[in-house]
Amino acid sequence: MRIRDSGMPEEAYWESLFDVPLILSKLCIARFHDVAELGCGYGTFSIPVAKAIRGTLFTFDVDPAMLARTAERGSGLPIRQQLRDVMSEGFGVRADAVLLFNILHCEEPVRLLQHAADALNPAGEVLVIHWRHDIATPRGPAADIRPSPSQIAGWATEAGLSASAVIDLPPWHYGLQLRPT
Ligand SMILES: C[S@@+](CC[C@H](N)C(=O)[O-])C[C@H]1O[C@@H](n2cnc3c(N)ncnc32)[C@H](O)[C@@H]1O
């Protein structure tokens, strides 16, 4: 099932809304070998993640146009991509980090976090970023479905994961590292 409110604006505008190097640096992405990502979108994070890690980026999307754009931008990089409904089918791979970026406003967040936890190698982490809920932002899901860090931490506990302190990812986002308990 396609996650609600997961449509994308035009690519250049979307990519103006993130400081991607800062986000990946604060999440210490380069320490991971294999990484799995739900929703490659335009490849905004897929491409720099694949360049930063030592292993393979496995990325999944339900939208063939998004997969095509990411493939075009990621030619020659260690990326394996698949048309896959992760919400229904899970990830189907194991990785050292699972990325849930701009995704946890979905209808069944605990189920999705369980899929992510199931995909982790030992000592792996689920990395989350999301739009801040406490300020007005230029994009992002509607306020009534936008999760706060404490909501995500609560869902993580239900999925057997423990949340880090909140990581500030200016201008519009925050992050959490979730580790198996
Ligand atoms: C809001 S975009 C975020 C893309 C990317 N993570 C980013 O932050 O740039 C959500 C993406 O998830 C994809 N998506 C929605 N539901 C999905 C599902 N059930 N399984 C896999 N991908 C899904 C959408 O097609 C879209 O490309």
Distance 128 CA to ligand 1 centre (A): 13
Rounded Cα gap, residues 24 and 173, in angstroms: 12
pLDDT for the residue numbered 6: 86
Distance 129 CA to ligand 1 centre (A): 13
From atom 25 of ligand 1, which residue's Cα is the shortest distance away? 63
- The answer, yes or no, to whether any atom of ligand 1 lies below 6 A from the CB of 38, is yes
The atom of ligand 1 lying closest to the CA of 14 is 9
Substitution site in 37, 45, 102 for ligand 1 pocket (most atoms within 8 Å of beta carbon): 102
Q: What is the pLDDT along the chain (181 residues), one digit of tens a residue?
A: 899 998 899 999 999 999 999 999 999 999 999 999 999 999 999 999 999 999 999 999 999 999 999 999 999 999 999 999 999 999 999 999 999 999 999 999 999 999 999 999 999 999 999 999 999 999 999 999 999 999 999 999 999 999 999 999 999 999 999 999 9
Residue-wise over 23-42: b if at least 16 C-beta within 10 A, else e?
bbeebebeebebbbbbbbbb
Distance 101 CA to ligand 1 centre (A): 8
- The answer, yes or no, to whether any atom of ligand 1 lies below 6 A from the CB of 102, is yes
CB–CB of 35/55 below 8 Å? yes
pLDDT for the residue numbered 116: 98
Phi-psi region of 40 (alpha: psi -120 to 50; beta: other; left: phi over 0): alpha
- The answer, yes or no, to whether any atom of ligand 1 lies below 6 A from the CB of 61, is yes
DSSP state of 137: -
